[in-house]
């Protein structure tokens, strides 16, 4: 069975067909969840933010340019939402990955964790430990592949701030990965 | 030899250098082993960052989102049009009704008190109906003459039009929807 192109689904969603938007959600929910997970650092919170991001996107479908691909736009909506959330609720402690949270789970104990912790897990932990304003520039540059100018536009920050945050974030990340 | 600034190495890998700056950096890198090492270290970091695999999503989010959309659908333009039309109709009605609202204060004539009526009633028990007949309710009239006299049909049509706008507008706004919170699913 042929899948409807994103554009058809978007047009139907604009006419109020929520099921059409549901199909878009199914296509992009994993990518959007991962944006939120990298930024928020907690699976449950990331799921909540992903849901909220899709609802925001639905409400803004009227202003979406359907000549552009939906996926990158959707991921940017999610990133913006997470940035706002991180600004409203600044963390005094760096976010901790869910996987490290349950001391009663044998699989989560330090020795077991250290055995199964691979490069990806190390990287995710290091990312989550970054300050939020560093995490977001890493997300937008490396995972959403935005240019410096696009990041500045998305975050509504000066280009010089974007560059300095990005360079410092990478330096800090490299240090954390060496630990 | 002056080495390339760290920022230049970042911009080099981000493809953010101008063609001239990139050519100059390339020329320097050909002769500078230290900068080559720096660049490769940074390139490895980039590769490591971008090697992070996607985390699996453990459940389908779409049913909750689709359910929530029913209660958060954007208000269509036709509803806003109906609301504006309602507001305009209200202004017209108020304009028409203004002379009626702007009445001089009406003062009622003195009425007999309840105790006086009761006294009459108790002392004239033998002729209650007659006694009641003696109580004459005062009559009064409102000294009002409208500045203009619109045809009744115009008032009726205006009223019906306002009712129609009201029903259409509120009918669309208040159509049934599900109220589902997206926040915190503890299940």
B10-32, pLDDT tens digit by residue?
A: 999 999 999 999 999 999 999 99
User: What pLDDT shows up at residue B163?
Assistant: 81
Residues from chain B that touch A149, judged by Cβ atoms under 8 A, are: none
Residue from the list A26, A62, A167 with its beta carbon closest to the beta carbon of B60: A26
In a domain, A161, yes or no: no
Please give the Cα distance from A34 to A143 (Å, whole number): 10
Interval A13-32 mean pLDDT: 92
A37 → chain B, closest CA residue = B55
Query: Running DSSP on this structure, what letter comes out for residue A140?
Result: I
User: What pLDDT shows up at residue A16?
Assistant: 86
Please give the Cα distance from A31 to A12 (Å, whole number): 22
Please give the Cα distance from B162 to B87 (Å, whole number): 9
Residues from chain A that touch B45, judged by Cβ atoms under 8 A, are: 170, 173-174, 177
Question: Domain range spanning residue A84?
Answer: 1-94
User: What pLDDT shows up at residue B74?
Assistant: 54
Interval A114-126 mean pLDDT: 74
In a domain, A75, yes or no: yes
Closest CA to B64 of A62, A47, A77, A34: A47
In a domain, A126, yes or no: no
Neighbour-count burial of A146, counting CB atoms closer than 10 A to its CB (0-12 exposed, 13-18 middle, 19+ buried): buried
In a domain, A43, yes or no: yes
Residue from the list B14, B74, B184 with its beta carbon closest to the beta carbon of A48: B184
Residues 6+ apart with CB under 8 A from B10: A163, A166, A167, A170, B16, B42
User: What pLDDT shows up at residue B178?
Assistant: 37
What stretches in chain B show pLDDT beneath 70?
Answer: 71-79, 99-153, 155, 171-187
Place of tokens 């971008």: B50
Helices (H) and strands (E) in chain B, counts: 8, 0
3-state secondary structure of A70: helix
More confident residue, A6 or B99: A6
User: What pLDDT shows up at residue B81?
Assistant: 79
Q: Tokens representing A57? A: 């996107």
User: What pLDDT shows up at residue A165?
Assistant: 96
Q: Which CATH number goes with the domain that contains A19?
A: 1.10.1740.10
Q: Is A31 touching B (CB cutoff 8 A)?
A: yes
Q: Tokens representing A116? A: 């199964």
Q: Tokens representing B156? A: 């009726």
User: Is residue A86's pLDDT more than 60?
Assistant: yes
User: What pLDDT shows up at residue B68?
Assistant: 87
Q: How many CB atoms lie within 10 A of CB A159?
A: 12
Query: Running DSSP on this structure, what letter comes out for residue B5?
Result: P
User: Is residue A144's pLDDT more than 80?
Assistant: yes
Spans of all domains in chain B: 6-50, 60-102+148-187
Substitution target in A49, A163, A172, A175 with the highest count of B β-carbons within 10 Å is A163
Q: Does A163 sit within 8 Å of B7, measured CB to CB? A: yes
Interval A1-11 mean pLDDT: 80
More confident residue, A115 or B109: B109
CB B60 within 8 A of CB B132: no
Q: Number of structural domains, chain A?
A: 1
User: Is residue A97's pLDDT more than 70?
Assistant: no
User: What pLDDT shows up at residue B177?
Assistant: 41
Please give the Cα distance from B39 to B25 (Å, whole number): 11
Substitution target in B10, B16, B52, B58 with the highest count of A β-carbons within 10 Å is B52
pTM above 0.80, yes or no: no
């Amino acid at each position: 069975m042929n899948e409807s192109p994103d554009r058809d689904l978007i047009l139907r969603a604009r006419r109020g067909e929520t099921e059409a938007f549901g199909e878009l959600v199914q296509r992009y929910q994993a990518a959007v969840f991962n944006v939120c997970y990298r930024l928020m650092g907690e699976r449950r919170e990331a799921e909540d933010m992903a849901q909220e991001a899709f609802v925001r996107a639905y409400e803004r479908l009227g202003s979406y340019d359907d000549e552009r691909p939906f996926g990158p736009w959707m991921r940017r909506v999610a990133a913006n939402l997470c940035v706002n959330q991180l600004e409203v609720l600044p963390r005094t402690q760096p976010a901790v990955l869910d996987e490290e949270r349950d001391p009663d789970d044998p699989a989560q104990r330090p020795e077991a964790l250290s055995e199964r912790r691979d490069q990806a897990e190390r990287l995710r932990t290091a990312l989550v430990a970054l300050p939020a304003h560093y995490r977001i520039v890493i997300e937008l540059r490396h995972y959403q592949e935005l240019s410096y100018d696009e990041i500045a536009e998305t975050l509504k920050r000066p280009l010089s701030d974007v560059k300095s945050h990005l360079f410092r974030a990478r330096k800090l990340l490299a240090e954390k990965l060496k630990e | 030899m002056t080495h390339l600034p760290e920022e230049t190495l970042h911009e080099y890998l981000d493809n953010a250098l101008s063609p001239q700056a990139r050519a100059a950096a390339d020329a320097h890198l050909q002769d500078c082993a230290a900068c080559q090492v720096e660049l490769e270290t940074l390139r490895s970091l980039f590769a490591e960052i971008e090697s992070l695999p996607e985390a699996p999503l453990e459940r389908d989010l779409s049913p909750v989102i689709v359910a929530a959309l029913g209660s958060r659908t954007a208000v269509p333009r036709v509803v806003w049009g109906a609301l504006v039309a309602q507001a305009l109709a209200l202004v017209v009605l108020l304009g028409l009704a203004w002379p009626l609202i702007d009445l001089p204060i009406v003062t009622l004539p003195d009425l007999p008190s309840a105790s006086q009526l009761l006294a009459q009633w108790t002392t004239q028990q033998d002729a209650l109906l007659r006694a009641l007949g003696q109580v004459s309710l005062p009559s009064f009239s409102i000294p009002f003459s409208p500045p203009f006299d619109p045809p009744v049909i115009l008032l009726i049509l205006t009223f019906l039009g306002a009712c129609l706008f009201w029903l259409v507008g509120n009918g669309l706004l208040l159509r049934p929807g599900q109220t589902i919170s997206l926040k915190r699913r503890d299940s």
